[in-house]
Each structure stands twice: as structure tokens, then as C-alpha cells.
Amino acid sequence: MSSLSIRLPLRRDSDDGYKMIKSIQSMVKQNFKMLLLTIPGERVMIPEYGVGLPRYLFELHSSNLEQNISSKINQQVDRYMPYLRIDNMQFNTLANEPSSLHIEITYSIPSLNFRDLLALTI
């Protein structure tokens, strides 16, 4: 099977030289994760790209914070990944890390009849 993209973070692989993404679903998940983690201004030639979740690391956890993050995610997905539909977003704090924010996003790609979950902790 041919490869679609390099899997990030880069890791060596004896088959292809580097680990590769070989399915559209895996590539969409990686691209979605990069959209969430990229800080606006960080991507060359597209300064408004990214949600910038790391910027929220030291924000106090509140419903207003969740609303701001949710709104930013929806705006960025609409602009840069219009084929992706966000079905649900959940925000939680982890018991062992009370200063962190755990985000679970259920998303789908209707044209491919595909549904998945992306979970991140910041």
C-alpha cells in the first residue's frame, strides 16, 4: 500500500525509512491534532492557522474557557477542515492533574462514513 504522509512525530522505520500514514482516517486525525495544537502565527505563510491549545495551559478552568476553546475549534475546523464535522466536545480535569484540561472531541467525516475520537490533555 502506498503512503499518504509522514507520521508525526518522526520515527525511524525499517520498511519506509520513517513511519508513514497509510490511511485517510489516520491522516485526518493527525491533521486535526496539528490544527488544535498549532499556535496562530506559528505556521509559515498561514499566520491565522491553528487553535493554539497550549496557550490555554495556564488559564483557570471555567465554562467560559470551555466556550472560548470550543468556539475557536469550530471556527478553525470550518475554515481549514470543512469536510470534518464535530459531533461532540467534552472538557474534563484529570483527578491526578487538577491544573490540566482534558478534551475529548468526537468527529466524523460524513463523505467517508467515518467517525473517531481525538483526546488531548493540555
Closest CA to 103 of 88, 116, 113: 88
For position 89, what pLDDT does the model report? 96
Q: What is the mean pLDDT of residues 69-95?
A: 93
Could you tell me the pTM of the whole model?
A: 0.86
93 within 8 A of 75, measured Cβ to Cβ: no
Inter-residue contact 94 to 121 (CB < 8 Å): yes
Asked whether residue 1 carries a pLDDT value surpassing 60, the answer given is no
What is the pLDDT confidence band of residue 2, given thresholds at 50, 70 and 90?
A: confident
Q: Show Cβ contacts of residue 27 under 8 Å, excluding neighbours closer than 6 positions.
A: 4, 5, 21
CA distance 6 to 16: 10
At residue 100, φ and ψ (nearest 5 deg) are -100, 165
6-50 confidence digits (pLDDT tens): 777 777 877 778 888 788 899 999 999 999 999 999 999 999 999
Give the Cα-Cα-Cα angle 76, 98, 59 (nearest 5 degrees). 45
